[in-house]
């Protein structure tokens, strides 16, 4: 065991826990004395306890969880300095290990308990995601909508399936992403960037937030906010990276990202999205050409860049809390649809980020239900058909290639609706100079400011 790396890892971990405690206090602390908030917290705790209990009968995806257990064992025995040695086959970026390490270390020393403790991180991620969603909805809608909103998220079958049945860690990325946005809505830009950097260093999908958060800070903050945000982001990155950096080259984190992103070089990795529609029932690389000298990757990245531009325009148009949340949702939805190498689970982020908006209009409700269903079908197809019981889904849920194409078309159509709705709302409502629209739910029939 590397004693210096071990001690440094503990110190950095405690600093990061304090960072998130501060973020959560800002997000939900002002409401904790209210009866509504206490009921919401009690419901989230109760649902989390049930989910944790279900882990005894839901063993998760064995390959993924055995990988997490192996990494947890390496962290506990050797410390963070050694986790990226070739023998451990580690292709995750380091921030997630600040949760994995203590979970494994606290587990009883038998394989089943270790599996449950490691899988329990994802369930706790759902709990904290629910808290962040509560903080978000309290900033854009009537207090009476807060409890229904978190129940729609916590009891969403697609969310439960990904975290509790599969055991994947998407909630550990969605939580810092949403918490960062909520903190930014209170103009705590430096703290928002610190939290966002942790999310980006949990897994590459967290990186998607950084440009849109930078844009929000640029159009709403001042020069001091920009400097503080840059400093906070850099300092947090140093804290996350420090115990893992010992004994490695300066570019080792870049190498980890490159290795992780290079594992599945296909336009769609079982994701029901535009890339699946473009590739058809064929196996191609994302660098292959679709038309002339235009590759799948070029098309996807161009469309995603257009999504970023659209989200930035919507956020700039009025600069309200609702628009900020909607812009971030739209970016993550576009990521799933357009960016090459998307996995089936990555629609989870769009669903989670849409949850705080679900009761603000009929369109939001329709989008939330639609994406929840298509997300569930996507992960269920992969989990059962490709992992657990080959052929089961093909034969019983009719998810042959034609059905997967149909679901992909529904997802693309949903994005068109979402983009059109965002444009219509941005055009319909007053610009940011009218302070009356800075916070408030949006209804299809007009504007209602709470």
pLDDT score, position 382: 85
What is the pLDDT at residue 429? 66
Q: In the prediction, which pLDDT does 246 show?
A: 84
Instruction: State residue 443's pLDDT score.
Output: 45
Higher pLDDT, 432 or 375: 375
pLDDT of 43 > 50? The answer is yes
pLDDT of residue 56: 92
- Count of residues making up the chain: 450
Please check the confidence at residue 31 and state whether its pLDDT lies above 80: yes
- Kindly indicate the confidence band of residue 383, based on its pLDDT and cuts at 50, 70 and 90: confident
Per-residue confidence (pLDDT) for residue 391, from 0 to 100:
46
pLDDT in tens, 46-56: 999 999 999 99
pLDDT at position 441 is: 42
Q: Could you read off the pLDDT of 157-168 as tens digits, one per residue?
A: 999 999 998 888
Per-residue pLDDT band for 434 (boundaries 50, 70, 90) equals very low
> Which is more confidently placed, 127 or 2?
127
Write the pLDDT tens digit of every residue in 219-257.
Answer: 999 999 999 999 999 999 999 999 998 877 778 788 888
pLDDT greater than 50 at residue 439: no
Average pLDDT of the chain to the nearest whole number: 89
* Percent of the chain whose predicted confidence (pLDDT) is above 90: 72
């Amino acid at each position: 065991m590397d004693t210096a790396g071990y001690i440094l890892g503990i110190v950095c971990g405690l600093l990061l826990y304090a960072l998130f405690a501060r973020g959560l206090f800002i997000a939900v602390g002002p409401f904790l004395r209210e009866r509504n908030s206490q009921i919401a917290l009690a419901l989230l705790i109760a649902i989390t306890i049930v989910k944790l209990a279900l882990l005894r009968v839901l063993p998760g995806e064995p390959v993924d969880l055995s990988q997490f257990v192996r990494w947890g064992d390496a962290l506990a025995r050797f410390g963070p300095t050694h986790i990226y040695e070739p023998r451990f086959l580690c292709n995750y970026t380091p921030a997630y290990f600040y949760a994995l390490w203590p979970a494994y270390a606290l587990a009883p020393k038998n394989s089943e308990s270790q599996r449950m403790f490691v899988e329990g991180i994802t369930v706790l991620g759902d709990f904290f995601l629910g808290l962040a969603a509560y903080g978000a909805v309290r900033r854009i809608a009537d207090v009476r909508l807060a409890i229904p909103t978190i129940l729609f998220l916590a009891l969403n079958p697609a969310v439960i399936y990904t975290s509790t049945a599969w055991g994947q860690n998407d909630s550990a990325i969605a939580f810092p992403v949403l918490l960062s946005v909520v903190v930014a809505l209170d103009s705590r830009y430096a703290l928002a960037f610190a939290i966002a950097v942790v999310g980006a260093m949990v897994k590459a999908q967290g990186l998607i937030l950084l440009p849109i958060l930078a844009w929000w800070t640029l159009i709403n903050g001042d020069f001091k906010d920009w400097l503080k945000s840059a400093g906070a982001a850099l300092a947090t990155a140093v804290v996350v990276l420090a115990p893992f950096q010992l004994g490695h080259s300066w570019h080792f984190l870049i190498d980890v990202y490159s290795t992780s992103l290079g594992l599945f070089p296909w336009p769609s990795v079982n994701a029901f999205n535009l890339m699946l529609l473009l590739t058809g029932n064929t196996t191609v690389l994302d660098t292959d050409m679709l038309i002339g000298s235009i590759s799948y990757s070029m098309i996807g990245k161009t469309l995603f860049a257009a999504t970023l531009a659209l989200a930035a325009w919507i956020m700039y148009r009025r600069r309200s809390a609702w628009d900020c949340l909607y812009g971030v949702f739209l970016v993550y939805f576009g990521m799933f649809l357009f960016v090459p190498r998307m996995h089936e689970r990555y629609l989870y982020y769009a669903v989670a980020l849409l949850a705080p908006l679900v009761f603000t209009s009929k369109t939001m409700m329709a989008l939330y239900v639609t994406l929840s269903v298509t997300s569930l079908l996507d992960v269920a197809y992969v989990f059962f058909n490709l992992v657990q019981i080959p052929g089961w889904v093909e034969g019983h849920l009719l998810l042959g290639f034609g059905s997967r194409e149909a679901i992909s078309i529904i997802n693309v159509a949903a994005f068109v609706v979402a983009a059109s709705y965002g444009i219509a709302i941005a055009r319909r409502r007053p610009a940011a100079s009218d302070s009356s629209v800075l916070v408030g739910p949006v209804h299809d029939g007009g504007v209602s400011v709470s």
